[in-house]
Amino acid sequence: MSVALGACGSIASTPPDGAVIDPLTPDAKATVDAPDARIDPAPDAPDAHIDPLPAPNLVFVTSTRHDGDLGGLAGADAICNARAHAANLPGTYRAWLSTATASALSRLGSASGWVRPDGKLVARTRDDLAGDHLFYPPRLDELGHDAGTQLVRTATGAGGAMVAGSGTCGDYTSATDATWVAAGEASGGGWLFSAGFGSSCTDLTALYCFGIDHSNALPTPIATGRRAFATAGNWTPGTGLAGADALCQQEATAANLPGTFRALLANVGTSALSRFDTSGAPWVRPDGVQLAATADLSAAAFLDAPPAIDATGSGSYGNSGWWTGASTLAAPGTASTTCNGWTSASDTATGTLGQLGNSHLYELVGQFPNTACNNAMHLVCLAL
């Protein structure tokens, strides 16, 4: 797979058949509405109470795999409802698929607010879903099993609309159409869940199924721990670790995040995680989402959620690149993976990039080695 890196930190990949993956503009900062309060705002009053949670819709990845002949949109919806019924999930479902005349988002009607079968929040509102801000990736199937990096055919990109240049397998009636169809990955946050990858109509992929029975804005997650965020600004190597740490601290201070922050970067001979105390509290994004149950972010193959949210909690960078410096968070860097210890901005020096919006650690951290060091990319910042 070849990789093209833009100056603004976006990633575009090219599959073996030459189709361009990710026709989006992933670095545009998505802004979401302010979180709703879960607790009555006057907790000291005698009648203080915890407000009842609004009813959510469910979203899941199908455990079944399908080629492009789904029996049209109606057939795809029938597959979703059959899978939900088989798993005893309540509600009515629509497949997350677009055509030239019907966007995936419009097919959900007035529905709003989605959680996974395990109750973890995916999108508070339609604006979240239409933007680049997912809370937890929709990785679970209808049975509650983790679908991991499963490819999911969608033909859908930014705004919940059809991706320009994507086919639809004859509006989902053909298993032989050779046209490229946009797809997402179940482990993706932001628009990686829906686009950024490709499929053909002969490929067997899963579907996303969204419940449509409730129209509520859901409360944000509430998790305690040390803060973690992705920088809104891009950083070009050349100023060493001190320069990267300075950008992290600058953005944390501007967002009124307390404490000292460092960049999650490997250096020559040292790993990214060695810069932090991994026996301390877990790291939590500013939007209330926990990255992992423990501070050892390398303990499993997947994080609970990617660190693709900025220090304000409103900007999201799902398919952007970030400098990492090694193939894993626990691996020491080398001169060729860290732009010579982050001191070189030359186009002949190289470093390693990750895909900021993916919860799969391989893709999150080390997917793009040998990247020229004159590229400006995001950083991930963690509180000490």
Look up the CATH number of the domain holding residue 298.
3.10.100.10
Q: What are phi and psi of 254, to 5 degrees?
A: -65, -30
Structural domain boundaries, residue 197 = 54-218
pLDDT at residue 131 in the model: 84
Residue 247 domain flag: yes
Q: How many of the other CB atoms lie within 10 Å of CB of 134?
A: 29
Q: 332 exposed, middle or buried (CB, 10 Å; 0-12, 13-18, 19+)?
A: middle
- Residues 283, 318 within the same domain: yes
Residue 10 falls inside a structural domain: no
Kindly state whether residues 250 and 290 are assigned to the same domain: yes
Q: Residues 211, 228: one domain?
A: no
Q: Residue 236: its pLDDT value, please?
A: 98
Report yes or no: 69 and 173 within 8 Å, Cβ to Cβ: yes
The alpha carbon of 182 is separated from its chain's Cα centroid by a whole number of angstroms, namely 16
At 51 the pLDDT is 52
Domain for residue 23, yes or no? no
**Residue 39 DSSP symbol:** B
Instruction: Tell me whether residue 344 is in a domain.
Output: yes
Q: Flag whether 41 is in a domain.
A: no
Report the domain count for the chain. Answer: 2
Cα(297)–Cα(284) distance, integer angstroms: 12
Looking at the structure, tell me whether residues 173 and 240 fall in a common domain.
no
Q: Which of 221, 20, 19, 222 is nearest to 135 (CA)?
A: 221
Question: Per the domain annotation, does 15 fall within a domain?
Answer: no
Strand segments (E) across 79-146: 93-95, 114-115, 121-123
- Kindly state whether residues 170 and 188 are assigned to the same domain: yes
Cβ burial of 367 (10 Å; 0-12, 13-18, 19+) is buried
How far apart are alpha carbons 335 and 347 in whole angstroms?
14
Do 178 and 279 have their domain in common?
no
| 339 located within any domain | yes
- Do 235 and 100 sit in the same domain of this protein? no
Question: E-strand spans in the chain?
Answer: 2-5, 11-14, 57-61, 93-95, 114-115, 121-123, 151-153, 181-185, 197-199, 208-211, 226-230, 261-263, 283-284, 321-323, 350-355, 368-372, 380-383
pLDDT at 264 (0 to 100): 98
**Token digits for 109?**
């009607």
Same domain, 226 and 200: no
Same domain, 134 and 246: no
**Last-in-domain residue among 189, 218, 247:** 218
Task: Specify the pairing of strand 57-61 against strand 114-115.
Answer: parallel
In sequence order, what are the beta bridge partners of 184?
152
- CA dist list (Å): 262 to 103, 281, 366, 382: 41, 16, 19, 6
pLDDT for residue 34 = 36
Tell me: do 257 and 375 sit in the same domain.
yes
Structure token pair of residue 119:
């109750």
DSSP state of 128: H
Q: Does 353 lie in the same domain as 256? A: yes
Question: What DSSP element (H or E) covers 361?
Answer: helix 361-365
Secondary structure letter of residue 282 according to DSSP? P
Question: Looking at residue 158, what is its pLDDT?
Answer: 84
pLDDT along the chain (384 residues), means of 10: 39 36 35 34 40 87 98 98 98 98 97 97 94 93 98 94 95 93 95 93 97 96 94 98 98 98 98 97 97 97 97 91 98 98 98 96 96 98 98
Please tell me the number of Cα atoms within 13 Å of 329 on its side-chain side: 25
Structure letter (DSSP) for residue 342: H
Residues 324 and 321: their CA atoms lie apart, in Å, by 9
Q: Tell me which of 218, 241, 273 is where a domain ends.
A: 218
pTM: 0.86
User: Counting Cβ atoms within 10 Å, is residue 247 exposed (0-12), middle (13-18) or buried (19+)?
Assistant: buried
Residues in the chain: 384
User: Which stretches within 173-272 are classed as H helix?
Assistant: 240-254
Considering the domain boundaries, does residue 381 fall inside one?
A: yes
DSSP character for 54?
A: P
Same-domain check for residues 212 and 226: no
Phi, psi (deg, nearest 5) at residue 158: -55, 140
Tokens of 87: 């798993």
Q: Which of 218, 247, 281 is the last residue of a domain?
A: 218
